[in-house]
Amino acid sequence: MIPRAQIRLLPDGHRLHLNDGPIDLIIEAFGATNHIQLAYRAAAVRFVTVLDELCAELPLLRREPNAGCWPTGVIARRMAGAVMPYSPETFITPMAAVAGAVAEEILQAMTNAATLDKAYVNDGGDIAIHLEPCQHFVVGMVERPVGPSLFGTATLTADQPVRGIATSGWCGRSFSLGIADAVTVLADTAAMADAAATIIANAVDLPSHPAVLRLPARDLAPDNDLGERLVTQKVGALTDREISSALSAGVERTRSLLATGLIRAAALHLQGQTRVVGDTLQLAQPATVHVERGLVHA
């Protein structure tokens, strides 16, 4: 049997590309050459069973999480754990955290196998990061998940708790109940960020607005976890006031997640307007936190 998974270095010779079915990862590790190789090997080895592990429990993962019927796979459990804080008040299934949870798992395999200065695993925009002390990443944010134009950057330093980034929006790969072009979330883990981005993107909304075309998810994808729920397919031009009102609904939800520690920061984007919540994200002007050097007790 020919293995499904594709494992290759990208032509730049630095980044590793892993693909299996809908899972598409871009990975980059920084550190000593031999450790980068160890990490990439570990990533590849861990990766080849991931899709099968998830598919074995797919029906369960497409249902709302239920403490009485917890999934068994390590990634599946991380997914369920990430969406649990929102359920049952808000409809959400573990699938909302699948990309982040997979990214985390691969990153963990890498950091277990090798000593790296820093590394990221980018699962279609949902990113798990690893930072050793004094390392940082600058992360760009896009206006919409499929578009390359950056509207801001965030500098993530090792002393901050953020280790996960996710972006969600109606024109991304997954269906959204809301109308946000892109919601980028920083959280302590990639799975948490992934779930939160879905929740916030759903909250950026103008219910029953005529310019928004919505269709039942199952008419588009019969086996989608959203079932009969209406998912956004097109958002027509909105007035500034409408944009502002939709974003405000999202910001309100964002603040509640921030207060409970489920996220650290978020940027919400809709038709040219952007709202930022939390102080980690800087727009257009990246800023690094400089810590004064001094003696501390080890």
Partner 1 sequence: MPDDDAIRCDACPVLCYIKPGRLGSCDRYGNQNGTLVRIEPHVVLDRAVSRGETVVPFLERDREWDGNLVTGQETFVTAIGAGTTYPDYKPAPFIISSEVKGVDMVTVVTEGIFSYCGVKLKIDTDRFLGPEQNTVRAQGEAVGHVTTSEYGSQMLSLGGVRHLTGGSRHEGTVTCQTLLDLCNGKSVELKVDEGASVVVQPGRPPVVDGVFEERMRVGCGSATIGMFAKQWFGKVDDVVVVDDHITGVLSEHQAGKLLGVSETGIKMKGRRSTPGRYFKVAEPGTAWGGTNIDDPLSILQPFDPKEAWAGLRLLMVSTTGEHSAYFELDESLKPIAKDLPAALKESVARIRENCEPALCTVLFMGGAGGSLRAGVTENPVRLTRSVRDALTRVTCGGAPVYLWPGGGITFMVDVTRMPANAFGYVPTPALVAPIEFTLKLQDYAELGGYVDHVRSLSSISTDESRRRVSARTDNPWPLAPAKPPEVP
What three-state secondary structure class fits 1? coil
Rounded to whole angstroms, the Cα distance separating 105 from 213 reads 36
Q: Which stretch binds partner 1 (CB under 8 A): 128-136, 216-224, 228-236, 269-277?
A: 216-224
Q: Is 34 in the site for partner 1 (CB under 8 A)?
A: yes
Among 31, 51, 229, 275, which residue sits at the site for partner 1 (rule: CB under 8 A)?
51
Q: Is 4 in the site for partner 1 (CB under 8 A)?
A: yes
What number of CA atoms fall less than 13 Å from residue 129's CA on the CB side?
27
Q: Is 22 in the site for partner 1 (CB under 8 A)?
A: yes
Beta-bridged to residue 6, according to DSSP, are: 19
Kindly report the length of the chain.
298
Among 72, 112, 239, 288, which residue sits at the site for partner 1 (rule: CB under 8 A)?
112
Q: Is 10 in the site for partner 1 (CB under 8 A)?
A: yes
Among 74, 220, 284, 289, which residue sits at the site for partner 1 (rule: CB under 8 A)?
220
Q: Which stretch binds partner 1 (CB under 8 A): 106-114, 127-135, 232-240, 262-270?
A: 106-114
Q: Is 146 in the site for partner 1 (CB under 8 A)?
A: yes
Q: Is 7 in the site for partner 1 (CB under 8 A)?
A: yes
Q: Is 230 in the site for partner 1 (CB under 8 A)?
A: no
Query: For partner 1, what does the binding mask look like between residues 150 and 189, x meaning CB under 8 A?
Result: -----------------------x----------------
Nearer Cβ to partner 1, position 210 or 222? 222
| Closest to 247 measured CA to CA, from 270, 281, 272, 214 | 270
Beta-bridged to residue 54, according to DSSP, are: none
For the purposes of burial, counting CB atoms within 10 Å of the CB of 145, is it exposed (0-12), middle (13-18) or buried (19 or more)? buried
Q: Is 113 in the site for partner 1 (CB under 8 A)?
A: yes
Report, in Å, the least distance between residue 293 CB and partner 1.
15
Nearer Cβ to partner 1, position 109 or 129? 109
Pull the structure tokens for residue 38.
């160890």
What number of CA atoms fall less than 13 Å from residue 246's CA on the CB side?
32
CB 123 within 8 A of CB 24: yes
Q: Is 33 in the site for partner 1 (CB under 8 A)?
A: yes
DSSP 189: S
Residue 88, preceding bond cis, omega within 30 degrees?
Answer: yes
Compute, in degrees rounded to 10, the torsion defined by CA atoms 34, 36, 42, 47: -150
Binding site for partner 1 (CB under 8 A): 2-4, 7-14, 16-17, 19-22, 24, 26, 33-34, 36-38, 40-42, 44-46, 48, 51-52, 55, 58, 109, 112-113, 124, 146, 173, 219-223, 296-298
